[in-house]
Amino acid sequence: MAPMGIRLSPLGMAVFCLLGLGVLYHLYSGFLAGRFAFFMLSEPAAGGPETPRGSTPGGAVDLRELLAVSVLAAVRGGEEVKRVREGNVLNAKAKGKTREGAEEQLTTGDLLSNRRMFYLLKGAFPAVQINSEEHVDTADQETVSWDRSIPEDIKQKIQPREVPAESVTVWIDPLDATQEYTEDLRQYVTTMVCVAVNGKPVIGVIHKPFSSYTAWAMVDGGSNVKARSSYNEKTPRIIVSRSHAGKVEQVARQTFGNKTVIIPAGGAGYKVLALLDVPEKNQEEADVYIHVTYIKKWDICAGNAVLRALGGHMTTLTGEEISYTGSDGNEGGLIASINMNHKALIEKLPDLEKTSHK
């Protein structure tokens, strides 16, 4: 019996409890719903697609994943390059002139390779800045997905390493050596991807579409290519652009001696591979790579990263490091070497720097 002779009705108690539950529901339902939604958004559904890393500006990028998709992008772009060349549907046209007055060629191979490479990389890492040689037409957008698989050789040699997405710049060269491509000099043609972190080249991929050979390397990570071990600093073999051979030859022979060998070649990617131990029949070998005029960064970034990963050097002709942020051009020419005294090479070439800004 309740105090003061008041009897509690079972029906009244039930109503009171129901009213209390109603108040608690209104107080906490919004909180619980919010927590449930947060949980559902934070955890991908079983078997569902993962949110791409680097999908937001504040996100992180795993460099091992970025290396894997960069290799795939270079290969996929190379497939387009090869298909167009073998089908003889280049549709070559001039897109402008170089500073030396030579016409720059643009082909269907450049455009299709660029589209395939750009959208593959952008789909995998939406928040990462991508700089490409060719214009990307948003009206011609292509959906190219990556299944996020990592090749076994990369898994074995490279450990995961995350960096802020905003620190990354990707440089694409969808078809290096376009002039030689139009002349059907296939050995010089490459597709390239480079990843720079805070302006420093960290990942380099150089792919040769017509032989299916791919070289890749990550600074402080690993690589699938090695440097050659035999060099002769007294009479080096110097590889240069076909159009610059005459300009370099006279100064080089005066500097290194009359026995110096000048190797004219096309494509910056091919020239860097000439410094390495590459199992390719049509790949020439050189000790030093020199370029004496202005050059675009997508031409040289991948090679710079590969050389850095193997202990080599690529600098301007005055020995300055090349930053892969800001403008897309390098004004100071370049000299590249590996397993050589790079500083001594620079000191031997004071006259070439004068021509690099022309």
Catalytic residue positions, numbered: 110, 178
Place of tokens 């719903």: 33
What is the chain's length?
358
The span from the CA of 219 to the CA of 303, in Å, is 12
Q: Is 111 annotated as a binding residue?
A: no
Q: Is 80 annotated as a binding residue?
A: no
Compute φ and ψ for 67, nearest 5 degrees.
Answer: -65, -45
Per DSSP, which regions of 138-260 are E strands? 162-164, 168-176, 190-197, 200-208, 213-218, 222-223, 226-227, 237-241
DSSP codes, 108-136: HHHHHHHHHHHHHHHHH-TTSEEEESSPP
**What's the CA dihedral at 227, 230, 232, 235 to 10 degrees?**
-90
Q: Which residues contact 308 (CB under 8 A, 6 or more apart)?
A: 201, 219, 314
Q: Is 176 annotated as a binding residue?
A: yes
Place of tokens 């440097």: 227
End-to-end CA distance of the chain, in Å?
A: 107
Residue type, position 287, single letter: D
The span from the CA of 177 to the CA of 209, in Å, is 12
Q: How many CB atoms lie within 10 A of CB 203?
A: 28
Q: Is 175 annotated as a binding residue?
A: yes
Question: Which residues contribute to the annotated binding site?
Answer: 133, 173, 175-176, 299
Annotated binding site for Mg(2+): which residue ranges? 133, 173, 175-176, 299
